[in-house]
Amino acid sequence: MEIQTQTKRLSPLSEEQVDQYHKNGYLILKNGCSDDLIDAYNAHIYTIRSADVMEEWAKPRKGKEEVSDQERFSIRLFNPHLHDGFSLQMMKLPIVRGALAQVLGDEACGVQSMYFYKEPGSPGQAAHQDYYYIRNEPNTLTAAWVAMEYINEENGCLWVIPGTHKLGMLPHGAVKNLQEHEAWTDEVEGIDLTQEVPVVLDKGDILIFDSLLIHSSTRNRSERWRRSYVCHYIRHDSTIEREDLKRKISLV
């Protein structure tokens, strides 16, 4: 029996939304994922990380035999789409594929995925541009950030500066506020960070943003988690410099 696959591409964005994306550098797909899908995926990742015997690719720290409970549910799960079918399908959500094609002008490919936990009390990441970490040519790098629960200022939402994707690549240096942000990252320089605005997302909302958009996250000051599934994409004719991200995943 031949199995039929869905290849018709959606066009979920209005012309106004596309224009707003190019003006601001980001947009929100409201209710991009159903609650059922989000609940199923959260439970799936929990099952992977709570297993008595964990696959090597899923371990918080590669090569480490003993895994603490704290590490299981605090350290991000990196590139699960390369090993796990559910994570791969979450990267290939039809609404994301369609929206990316509309803002990029052609089909996109997936190159990276990360499941973030951000438990209560954990710090955020200082203001930066994704292109600083993932160079590609021509630059078409775009993120799709899926809120796995309600996310606001209290539990460490993203903050963005609209329109900064038009400034080009800015210099990055040492993180200034180590009480608020992780020390191992870098922070953009030469920009007024008081211009940042919070991006509040309901469970299932998807934030799509340009790789040059300046964005950050704050410390989780709540008793709630701030789980998210974040994928990075490039247009099919772009190439990645980093060796670990050169594999392109078709979204068809």
Domain presence at residue 6: no
Residues pairing with 206 in the sheet = 29, 146
Distance (Å, whole) CA 3 – CA 41: 24
Domain presence at residue 9: no
Q: If you count them, how many residues does the chain have?
A: 252
Its domain, for residue 80, covers 15-250
pLDDT digits (tens, 9 = 90+) for 163-216: 999 999 999 999 999 999 999 999 999 999 999 999 999 999 999 999 999 999
Domain presence at residue 174: yes
pLDDT digits (tens, 9 = 90+) for 3-46: 555 579 999 999 999 999 999 999 999 999 999 999 999 999 99
Q: Evaluate if residue 64 carries a pLDDT over 90.
A: no
Four-point Cα dihedral 157, 35, 91, 153, nearest 10: 0
Copy the structure tokens of residue 177: 């506020």
Q: Evaluate if residue 63 carries a pLDDT over 80.
A: no
DSSP for residue 69? H
Domain presence at residue 167: yes
Q: At a CB cut-off of 8 Å and minimum separation 6, what does 201 contact?
A: 28, 147, 150, 151, 157, 207
Is 217 in contact with 180 (CB distance < 8 Å)?
Answer: no
pLDDT at 79: 98
Interhelix angle for 15-24 vs 94-104, to 10°?
Answer: 70
Average pLDDT, rounded, for the chain? 96
pLDDT at 208: 98
Q: At a CB cut-off of 8 Å and minimum separation 6, what does 75 contact?
A: 60, 61, 117
Structural domains in the chain (count): 1
Q: Evaluate if residue 2 carries a pLDDT over 70.
A: no
Domain presence at residue 88: yes
CATH number for the domain spanning 101: value is: 2.60.120.620
pLDDT digits (tens, 9 = 90+) for 83-138: 999 999 999 999 999 999 999 999 999 999 999 999 999 999 999 999 999 999 99
Q: Evaluate if residue 71 carries a pLDDT over 60.
A: yes
pLDDT at 65: 79
Domain presence at residue 92: yes
Domain presence at residue 136: yes
Of the candidates 234, 214, 242, 244, the residue with the CA atom closest to the CA atom of residue 106:
234
Domain presence at residue 2: no
